[in-house]
Amino acid sequence: MNLKRNLICCITGVFSFLIANAQTSKIFVDFGLNDKTNGLLTASPDVNGNYWNNVISTTSGTIVSIIDNKNVATGATLTLGSGFSSNGIVTGGLLNPSPGLLGDLAINTATHDYFYATNGTIKLTGLGQQKKYVFHMFGSRQINTETRVTQYSITGANSSTFNLTTTGAGIGNGGYDGNNNVIAKSDTLYADADGTINISVAKQAGIYAYINCMKIEVFENNDGKVYNLINKGFESGSLDSWTKDAKSVNSVALVNKDQAHQGVYALKLGGDNVSVSQQISFVGGLKEYILSGYFYKPAALVTGQAAYLTLSYYDKDKQLLLSSKSDSITSASPSGLFIKLQTNLRIPAGTSYITSKVTWVNANNSAGGVYFDDLSLDQPLLDNLKITYMGSSVPYGQGATNLQGYTYLYTQLLNARKSTGGKDWSTVNISIGGNNTTAVLNRYTRDLTPQKSKYVIFALSLGNEGIHEQGQTAFNSFKTNMQTLITKARADGMIPVLTNCYTRNDFTLKDYDFVKQMNMWIHTLDVPSINLLGGVDNGAGKWAPAYWHDPGHPDDEGHQELAYTIVPSLFDALSNGKPQPTDIDAANEGTQISKPILFKPDNITHPFTITITIKANGKGSIIHLKDTLNKPGAISITDKGSVEYRSPLYQKITSTASVTDGKWHTITLTHYYA
C-alpha cells in the first residue's frame, strides 16, 4: 500500500514538471529571396501544418510582425539589422532537406535560400517577460573550397553563444559539402527588461556566416523567478518589487513626485540609514553587469551623509561571492542636478542571483537627504575581456596549416593562461585577405562595431597598402588612415593595439626603409604595439629563410615566431590599467641598485632587445640571461673597459669603445632568432 502511494506521488511530480515546462507555441522564420530563381517564399501552412514568417529584404530596418505556428499574432516584431546579403538555389542552398535529419525545419523553400554576412544583427521586440525561449538555428551553403563556421550570439536577460559549421568539403551527411544534418540550439533564454532579444550572426571561420531559417520554441515561465528589475523608475507610485531595510523609524524611503529624473515619480531618501534593493535570478550566459542610477541632491549635505549603489552576486546558498560599490554622493557633490552613478562587476562562477541596492547613510541622523530614480542593470556596451583581430591575410592565418596562424596561436596561449592566473579572454578574428587601411576603414562600422570588444588589434602592413608600387603615397595613406582608425576606436570606447609592419619577399631596400620608418612612427604613438618585424626579418626586408610559405605570407614556423612577439600578459596589463611605459632619466649621482632586477618571461621569448644606461669606472657584470636549457649568457665590462656579450652558445661580441670613463653610456643588445 505504501509502495503504491509513493508511486502515485512520483508520477504526479513528473507530470507537474512537464506541465510547468510545457511548450506553448513555436515560431518559424525563413530568411531568403523570393525572386523565383534563387529563392521562394515558404508557403503557409507547410506540410507539417506550421505557419511561417518570411524575411525577404536584406535592407537594414526591415520589420516583420511575427505570427506563431498556428497563425496567431504574437505581438512581437523582428527588425533586421545591417550587414546581410542574400543568395540561394543556384548558389549552394540546400535543395532537398531530409525530415529525418532536420525535422520540422526540413522545408525546401526555407533551406534552399539564405542570408549571409560577416556580421549581421537581428532584433526581436515585444517578447513576453513571463516566457522563455529556445532558438533552433539552421545555416547552410554548399561549397568545397573552404570550411565556414557561423557563430550565433543571442542575448536578452541572459545570453547564449554557439557555433554551427555551415560549409565545407564533406561536412554534411553522406559527404555533402554543406550542412544538411545539424541544427544549432541555444540555451533557454529570457527577454530583457524591455522585452527584447538580440541575435548576432557572425563568421567564426571562413569568409561568411549564414542563416537559412530558425525555429523559436516558446514556453511559459512557471518557475516563479524574476530575471529583470521591475518598477525601476518607481512609476507605480510605490516601492512595489523593492525591499526596504531601515535602521529605525526615522529612516525615510518613500516614493513621491517631488523630483523625478524621468517620468513622474522618484524615491526620496533621508533620515536615519536606509536602503532599498531588488533581487533577480541569474541563469548564465552573461559575463558582466553595470548597475547605474541617478541621484539628486536638493541641498548641501553634511559630513557623514552619503548615498551610493551596490551590486552583489550570491550563490544558491545565499553566500556572497562578489560585491562592488559605486562612487558616493557626498557633501562635496554638486547640488541641484541629477548625477549618474554606476558600478560594474564581472559575474563569478556559481552566481545564482543578483542584488541591486540603493543606500543612504546618515551617521549622525542629520537633516537632509537625496532623491533617486531610474535604476538600470545592463550589460556593458563593450565586452571588457574580448579582443578583436582586424587586419589582412597574415592575421587571418594565411600560410599556416588550417589557417592556424599567429593570432590563433596567441589565442591558444591566452586560453592556457587562464589556469595560471590570466584573465578569461575571448577573441574573434575578422581579418580579410588583401585588406589595407582603406578597406578596414570602410568596413569598420559593419564588421568591428558589432563585435562590442574592448580591445582591437589593427594588424596591417605596408604591402597591401601598395608601398612597393606607390612608395611615399602609400606610406602617407597608411599613416593617415591608421591615425583615423585609432581615433575612431577610442571614440567608441575601445583600446586599439597596433602591429608593426613586417616583411615580404618582393620588398626592395627602399620598401624596407619605409617599413622601418613606419614602425618607428608607430613606436612614438601613445598606443600599445607589437613588433612583428623583429620576429621574421632577415635584415633586408624579406622573410627569414625557411620561415615563409609564399612571398607574402609566413609558414607555420613564421607564424609561430610572430606569435612569440606578442607579450603574453599584454592584455592583462591593459585591463588592469597599467600605463604605457615612459623613459625615465635615471642619471642621478649616487644612484645604486641594492639587488639585481629580475625578469622572467612567462612564455618562450625568441627575438628581444635589452637596453640599459650605465656609468662605470671599472670592470663588472651588467646583465645575466639564461636560455630554455638553462645555459647562461652575460653582458659585462672587461678589464680593458670594453663591453662584452657572451651568448649561451659561447659566442662573443666585444665593443671597440671603452665605457669606463665615468660618463653615461647606453648599451643595447638585440637578439634575433629566425
Residue 240 has pLDDT above 90, yes or no: yes
- CB-based contact 637:616 (threshold 8 Å): yes
Rg (CA), the chain: 31
Task: Read off the pLDDT of each residue in 387-408 and give the average, rounded to a whole number.
Answer: 96
Indicate if the alpha-carbon torsion angle 464, 466, 472, 478 is positive or negative. Answer: negative
Residue among 155, 166, 131, 182 nearest 23 (CA): 131
Cell numbers describing residue 77: 516584431
Residues 6+ apart with CB under 8 A from 94: 108, 111, 112, 140, 142, 178, 179, 180, 212
Query: pTM for this structure?
Result: 0.71
pLDDT of residue 44: 97
Q: Measure the CA–CA gap between 61 and 205, rounded to whole angstroms.
A: 27
Cell of 504: 615580404
Helical segments of 92-134, H only: 99-102, 108-111
Yes or no: say if 139 and 216 are a contact pair by the CB < 8 Å rule: no
What is residue 3's three-state secondary structure? helix
The kind and range of the H/E element at 439 are: helix 437-442
Question: Are 94 and 179 spatial neighbours (Cβ–Cβ below 8 Å)?
Answer: yes
Contacts of residue 488, defined as CB under 8 A and 6 or more positions apart, other chains included, come to 441, 444
Q: Enter the C-alpha cell of residue 310.
A: 551596490
pLDDT value of residue 22: 59
CB 468 within 8 A of CB 512: no
User: Rounded distance, CA 242 to CA 206, Å?
Assistant: 49
Q: What secondary structure letter does DSSP report for 221?
A: -
Tally the residues of the chain: 674
Span 414-427, average pLDDT: 91
pLDDT of residue 597: 80
How many degrees, rounded to 5, is the angle at CA 430 between CA 428 and CA 432? Answer: 150
Q: How far apart are CA 40 and CA 113, in angstroms?
A: 8
Question: In the predicted model, what is the mean pLDDT of residues 237-247?
Answer: 94
Q: What are the tens digits of pLDDT across the range 389-399?
A: 999 999 999 99
Q: Which residues of 499-512 are buried (b: 16+ CB within 10 A; e: fewer)?
A: bbbbbbeebeeebb
Walk me through the domains of the chain, giving residue ranges and CATH numbers: 22-220 (2.60.120), 243-378 (2.60.120.260), 383-575 (3.40.50.1110), 608-671 (no CATH)
Q: How confident is the model at residue 16 (pLDDT cuts 50, 70, 90)?
A: very low
Residue of 270, 257, 276 lying closest to 297 (CA atoms): 270
Give all strands (DSSP E) within 147-250, no chain letters. 148-155, 159-167, 184-185, 197-205, 209-211, 213-220, 243-246
Q: Single out the residue of 23, 69, 73 nearest to residue 50, CA to CA.
A: 69
Average pLDDT of the residues in 332-357 = 95
Give Cα separations from 120 to 80, 89, 198, 210, 282 (angstroms).
8, 21, 11, 9, 27
Residue 431 CB neighbour total at 10 angstroms:
23
Residue 203 backbone class (left: φ over 0; alpha: ψ -120 to 50; beta: rest): beta
| Positive or negative torsion for Cα 635, 568, 512, 475 | negative
pLDDT band at residue 583 under the 50/70/90 scheme: low
Average pLDDT of the residues in 178-207: 93
What is the C-alpha to C-alpha distance for residues 561 and 515, in angstroms, rounded to an integer?
18
Collapsing DSSP to helix, strand or coil, 664 comes out as strand
Element (H, E) at 415: helix 406-417
Cis preceding-peptide flag for 45 (omega within 30 of 0): yes
Report residue 175: phi and psi, to 5°.
Answer: 80, 15
| pLDDT average, residue stretch 492-515 | 96
Q: What is the Cα–Cα distance from 536 to 397, expressed in whole angstroms? A: 15
What pLDDT score was predicted for residue 300? 94
Q: Which whole number is the average pLDDT over 93-102? A: 98
pLDDT for residue 284: 82
Encode pLDDT of 346-380 as tens digits: 999 999 999 999 999 999 999 999 999 999 999 88
Please say whether the beta carbons of 85 and 58 come within 8 A.
yes
Higher pLDDT, 674 or 174: 174
pLDDT higher than 80, residue 115 = yes
Q: Is 528 helix (H, G, I), strand (E, B) or coil?
A: coil
Q: Which residue has the higher pLDDT, 578 or 250?
A: 250
| For residue 418, pLDDT beyond 70 | yes
Rounded CA-CA distance 68/61 in Å is 22
User: Confidence band (pLDDT; 50, 70, 90) for 431?
Assistant: very high
Mean pLDDT (the chain) is 91
| Average of per-residue pLDDT across 502-525 | 96
Angle at 605 between CA 602 and CA 607, to 5 degrees: 150
Nearest to 378 by CA among 288, 495, 245, 441: 288
User: Residue 6 pLDDT more than 50?
Assistant: no
| Residue 5 predicted with pLDDT over 50 | no
Predicted confidence band of residue 1 (pLDDT cuts 50, 70, 90): very low
- Percent of the chain with pLDDT strictly greater than 90: 78
pLDDT 10s digits, 637-669: 999 999 999 999 889 999 998 999 989 999 999
Q: What's the confidence (pLDDT) of residue 573?
A: 94
Per residue in 39-86, pLDDT (tens digit) is 999 999 999 999 999 999 999 999 999 999 999 999 999 999 988 999
Q: Is the pLDDT at 268 greater than 80, yes or no?
A: yes
Amino acid making up residue 212: N
Q: What is the pLDDT of residues 300-331, one digit of tens each?
A: 999 999 999 999 999 999 999 999 999 999 99
List pLDDT tens digits, range 533-568: 999 999 999 999 999 999 999 999 999 999 999 999
433: helix, coil or strand? Answer: coil
Sign of CA dihedral 211, 212, 213, 214: negative
Give the orientation angle of helix 509-524 with respect to helix 472-491, to 10 degrees: 30
